[in-house]
Amino acid sequence: MSRPREDSRRFTIREPIFGYDVWMSATPSAADLAAKKCVPCEGGVPKLSLAEAEAHQAALPAWRLTHDGTRIRRDFTLPDFRSAVKLLNTIAALAEREQHHPDLHLEGYRKAWVEIHTHAIGGLSENDFILAAKIDAVAPPG
C-alpha cells in the first residue's frame, strides 16, 4: 500500500487505483472559505458531523467549537467600549450582506464574542465557517 502525498492544491492524493488517482478533499483554507458566499438555508440540509466541523475549524484557529460541536465561537478583547461596539456593528453589517446572522455579545465594556450556528438545522453548516472566515478578515488579529 502506498503512502498518500500532499498536493499544493490542499488535497491528499493517493497513488493510482485501477489507473486513476483517488482524490480526497482535505481541510478548506480560510481563504477558500472567505471567497465563498453564504447560501440561504431553511433546513433540509444535514448538519456537519463533529469530524467535519473539526476539519473546517482547523482552518480558523481563532475560533473554537462549543455546544458539543454544534456551534463555533470567537472571543475578542478590545481596547475600549467604542472599539467593541464598532467591531460588533461591522460584523452585523457583514452578516446582513451574507444573510447569515450570528449571535453577538458584549460583556463588560470591552469584551465581545461571536457565536455562529445554522439555526434551521440545529448545528453547523459550511455557511457558518464561511461567515467566520469573513469575520476574521474584518476583525482585529488575535
Separation between Cα atoms, residue 129 and residue 90, nearest integer Å: 17
**pLDDT tens digits, residue range 46-95?**
899 999 999 999 999 999 999 999 999 999 999 999 999 999 999 999 99
> If phi over 0 gives left and psi between -120 and 50 gives alpha, with beta otherwise, what is residue 108?
left
**Helix axes of 81-98 and 126-138: crossing angle, nearest 10 degrees:** 140
Computed over every residue of the chain, the mean pLDDT equals 81
Percent of the chain with pLDDT over 70: 74
Write out the three cell numbers for 3: 503512502
Chosen CATH of 29-138 out of 3.30.2350.10, 3.40.190.170, 3.30.365.10, 3.30.1360.20: 3.30.1360.20
Tell me the per-residue pLDDT of 22-40, one tens digit each, with 9 for 90 and over. Answer: 333 456 777 776 676 766 6
pLDDT of residue 29: 74
Lowest mean pLDDT among 4-8, 117-121, 126-130: 4-8
What contacts 85, CB < 8 A, 6 or more positions away?
Answer: 106
Taking the model in full, what pTM does it have?
0.76
H or E, element range at 73: strand 71-77
Q: What is the pLDDT of residue 38?
A: 63
Amino acid at position 112, single letter: A
Separation of alpha carbons 123 and 82, rounded Å: 32
